[in-house]
Structures are given as C-alpha cells and as structure tokens.
Structure 1
C-alpha cells in the first residue's frame, strides 16, 4: 500500500499539475541554457587572456584576480593556471550540454506521455504578422508627418 501511495505522488493528478510540472521542466531547461552561455563567455574570456599573454616574455610581470584580491605574478606562473581554469570550465560546459540533452529528452518524453502540444508559437506567428504590418505603417506614417 505504501508503494501505491508513492506511485500516486509521482503521477500528476490533474491538468494543472501536469502544466506546473511542465513549466518547471521548461524553466530548468532555460536555466541550463543560460548557465551554458555564461560558461562559454568565461571560456572565451580565458582564451583572450591566453592569446594576449602567451607571446610575451615569461618573466614579465602580470596581475591576476584571485578571490577578489589582485596579485602580482609572472606570466610563467599565471599562464598554466589560466589554462587549467579554461580546461575546467570547458569540462563544465560539456557536462552542462549532457544535462541539457537529458533534460530535452525528459521534456520530450513528458510531452509525448501527456500529449502536450504547444499552440502558443502558432498564435504568436499569426499575431506578429498582423502587428508587423500595422507597426510598419505606424512607423512610416509617424515620422513622415513629423518631418514635414
């Protein structure tokens, strides 16, 4: 009887519960996307730093921010650390991409199981086409009458 109650908890009771679970899953997916974007920006920043300091003299002084503290080091000391950090961030991006694919698959299975179809996109396309024509006319008429 306890296992039956656990099964009931995992299965949504009504449409609203299904919609809430689906919205939460989509939210998680968006969070993963944003984190991947953030980490890819970090990788590109690390690449810029590496490309900037690699051709320089290894004994040259440089500054690095560590935990909010600016420290003076040499390029010889800093370059390996920056390369390690970049490799670590790239590994995190790879893991996030794996999590993204799993979440997409999970959402797809959920959509199939509960026969979820997104109609919002179709409605937006129809609305946008009507709005674009009206907006374009308003933009063209507004400045033309203002400039005369």
Structure 2
C-alpha cells in the first residue's frame, strides 16, 4: 500500500508546496521587472537632479532681483531668482535623498533576485559564459593591444 508524503513544513508550520517550473519562471520575471522599473525610476530622478543642479548653478550667477519663471504642476509662475533659488535647493536635496533610497532599493531587489535564483537553481543564459568569454577576450586583446580600438578615421 502506497502512502502520500506531505511537503515538508516551513517555519510557519504550513506545508511548503512545490511550485511548477512555470510559476517559478513567472515569479522570477516579476522580480526582474520590478528591478527594471526601479532602475527606470532612478534614471528619471537622476535626470531631474541634474536639471536642478544646472538651473541652480545658472541662477547663482544672476542678480537675485531678476525675474524668472518656474513651471509648477503645469502652471508657469513668475517670481524672482531670490525667491525661487531656495525652493530649488530644497528640491535638489530631496531628489538626492530619493536617489540614495532608489539605489538602496535596487540593491535589495538584486539580493532578493539572487536569493530566488539560488533557492530555485535558476541560471540565466549567457551569464555563466560571460566571465569566461571576457577573460578569453582579454587574453586575445593583449596580443593586439595596438590593433583594433574601434577608432573612426576620416580622410583628410
């Protein structure tokens, strides 16, 4: 007579059910998509931060009584440089904090993805071959160090 064995209980006392390959793949793709979204958001914030720095550097060279315009929520507002500059500096510091938090979230998501990969023995195609290929290219590149450097030369 055959007996059915239950899945091993987890720390919470509930039996851990084995996931199908499709479920594992779907969850892994969701994690990777979440990380991509975090990276895209970080790039947007970094771009805003660069714009703020450029505007602040430009406005510091201008007279504080000079009028300037600022777009706030789709509405163009006229103020003086002296009134807008402190607001921009506050926004810049907040954006810098957001960038730091974003980098931390991306790092945590990467750790989560790696743990998921290890837990489910997932290997990404080309990832294991890449370090070996890079080292072989490096060895081959030493032989032709003065050779192909992807330089575009025009006729004079």
Aligned to 1:42: 48
Q: Which structure shows the higher helix fraction?
A: 1
CA distance in 2: counterparts of 1:115 and 1:95, whole angstroms: 30
CA distance in 2: counterparts of 1:119 and 1:74, whole angstroms: 56
Aligned to 2:22: 16
Contact 1:12 1:18 in 2 (8 A): no
Aligned to 2:78: 72
After superposition, the CA RMSD in angstroms is 2.3
How far 1:67 sits from its partner (Å)? 1.2
**Unaligned segments of structure 2, at least 5 residues:** 1-8, 134-156
1:1-148 equivalences in 2 (<5 Å): 4=14, 8=16, 13-120=19-126
How far 1:3 sits from its partner (Å)? 5.3
Which secondary structure state, in structure 1, belongs to the residue aligned with residue 78 of structure 2? strand
> Which aligned runs of 4 or more in structure 1 are off by greater than 4 angstroms?
120-123
TM-score by length of 2: 0.71
Aligned length: 120
CA distance in 2: counterparts of 1:57 and 1:109, whole angstroms: 55
How far 1:48 sits from its partner (Å)? 0.9
